[in-house]
């Protein structure tokens, strides 16, 4: 990642401010995504675990980690997001789970000792913002995770985003030209959008993510999409959500579907849990 890309992303999240707080609660597909992420987290952390949260943002998953009985070092590239994280947790029981907060670029975990965390969490795409340094960044996160511990994260999905946002993608292709669009689809790198003035990140295919983890000395132990069926008819889903027992069943089916090999590339995000590769 160039210093310029890092600055671009930091400015984006500084300016977005509290808008990020509503990303996973403001609409029904966001709430499903929250449920999919929460399930993976609940499977990967235990009470008493010491967790590094990377790209924590305003604190959706800091709250979850606190509720799961962990202690958390909360970090983010954006000082504004870190301040919001503190604001959202201030005065709640969850704040007692926070060991400290500090600015951290996912590419620069050198300040932490080998194996000092039980689990490292990087939800919502910090690795998608590391661009060409994503492999080194992941190697760094695995280094600071104890043997047997997990790096749990999510990155933006290339194929699922293409499918879900096709009308917008076609508009962009028209604006930037089909060659630039081909390049985006080949590399997942949205910096090929001319001008780079909007949101940029690197999107992944599941096979890219698997290769990245393996090259960093790890192995993927859980892979999931977010979302699958819940990217469909939103009005129908709102109706379903109003019926708690049908909704609970739907969520169970959705979480299971998201982990099917045939579905993992179909959501807007790819979730993973990775550990040091076993000899
Ligand atoms: C989409 S938000 C996700 C927030 C939270 N983890 C969640 O999933 O709700 C992405 C977060 O990653 C942070 N971020 C972006 N680039 C990063 C980097 N290179 N290192 C660490 N954090 C980064 C942003 O500032 C932002 O707070």
- Residue ranges and CATH numbers for the domains of the chain are 3-158+197-276 (3.40.50.150)
Minimal CA–CA distance to 275: which of 55, 71, 37, 44? 44
258 Cα: distance to centroid of ligand 1 (angstroms): 23
Tell me what pLDDT residue 6 has. Answer: 87
Q: Which residue numbers in the chain have pLDDT < 50?
A: none
Q: Tell me which residue has its CA closest to atom 2 in ligand 1.
A: 124
**Ligand 1 within 6 A of 228 CB?**
no
Q: Tell me: the pLDDT tens digits for 131-171?
A: 999 999 999 999 999 999 999 999 999 999 999 999 999 99
The structure tokens 């958390």 sit at: 72
Quick count: other Cβ atoms within 10 Å of Cβ 15?
Answer: 10
The model's pTM: 0.96
Quick count: other Cβ atoms within 10 Å of Cβ 210?
Answer: 19
Query: H-helix or E-strand containing 150?
Result: strand 145-157
What pairing do the DSSP bridges indicate for beta strands 50-53 and 71-76?
A: parallel
User: What spatial distance separates the first Cα and last Cα of the chain, rounded to whole Å?
Assistant: 31
**Ligand 1 within 6 A of 20 CB?**
yes
Angle between helices 166-176 and 178-187 (to 10 degrees): 130
Tell me what pLDDT residue 194 has. Answer: 66
**Ligand 1 within 6 A of 160 CB?**
no
Looking from the CA of residue 1, the nearest atom of ligand 1 is 19
Tell me what pLDDT residue 99 has. Answer: 98
107 Cα: distance to centroid of ligand 1 (angstroms): 12
- Residue 18, C-beta contacts closer than 8 angstroms, at least 6 positions apart: 58, 84
- Residue 188, C-beta contacts closer than 8 angstroms, at least 6 positions apart: 156, 158, 202, 203, 204, 205, 208
Tell me what pLDDT residue 196 has. Answer: 58
**Residue whose CB lies within 8 A of the most ligand 1 atoms, among 77, 84, 102, for a mutation test:** 77
**Ligand 1 within 6 A of 55 CB?**
yes
Tell me what pLDDT residue 1 has. Answer: 64
């Amino acid at each position: 990642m160039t210093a310029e890309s890092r600055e671009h992303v930091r400015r984006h999240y500084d300016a977005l401010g509290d808008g990020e707080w509503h990303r996973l609660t403001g609409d029904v597909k966001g709430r499903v995504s929250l449920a999919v992420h929460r399930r993976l987290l609940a499977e990967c952390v235990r009470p008493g675990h010491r967790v590094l949260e990377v790209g924590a943002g305003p604190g959706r998953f800091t709250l979850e980690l606190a509720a799961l009985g962990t202690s958390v070092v909360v970090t983010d590239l954006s000082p504004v997001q870190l301040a919001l994280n503190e604001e959202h947790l201030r005065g709640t029981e969850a704040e007692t789970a926070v060991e400290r907060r500090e600015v951290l670029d996912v590419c620069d975990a050198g300040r932490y000792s080998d194996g000092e965390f039980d689990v490292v969490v990087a939800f919502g795409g910090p690795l998608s913002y590391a661009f060409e340094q994503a492999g080194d960044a992941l190697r760094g996160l695995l280094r600071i995770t104890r043997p047997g511990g997990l790096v749990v994260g999510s990155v933006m999905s290339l194929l699922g985003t293409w499918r879900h946002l096709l009308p917008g993608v076609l508009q962009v292709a028209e604006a930037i030209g089909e060659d630039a669009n081909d390049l985006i689809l080949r590399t997942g790198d949205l910096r090929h959008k001319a001008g780079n003035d909007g949101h940029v990140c690197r999107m992944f295919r599941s096979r890219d993510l698997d290769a990245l983890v393996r090259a960093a000395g790890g192995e993927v132990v859980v892979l999931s999409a977010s979302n699958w069926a819940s990217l469909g008819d939103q009005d129908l889903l709102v109706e379903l959500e109003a019926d708690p027992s049908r909704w609970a069943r739907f969520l169970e089916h959705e979480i299971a579907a998201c982990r099917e090999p045939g579905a993992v590339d179909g959501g807007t995000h790819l979730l993973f849990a990775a550990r040091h590769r076993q000899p």
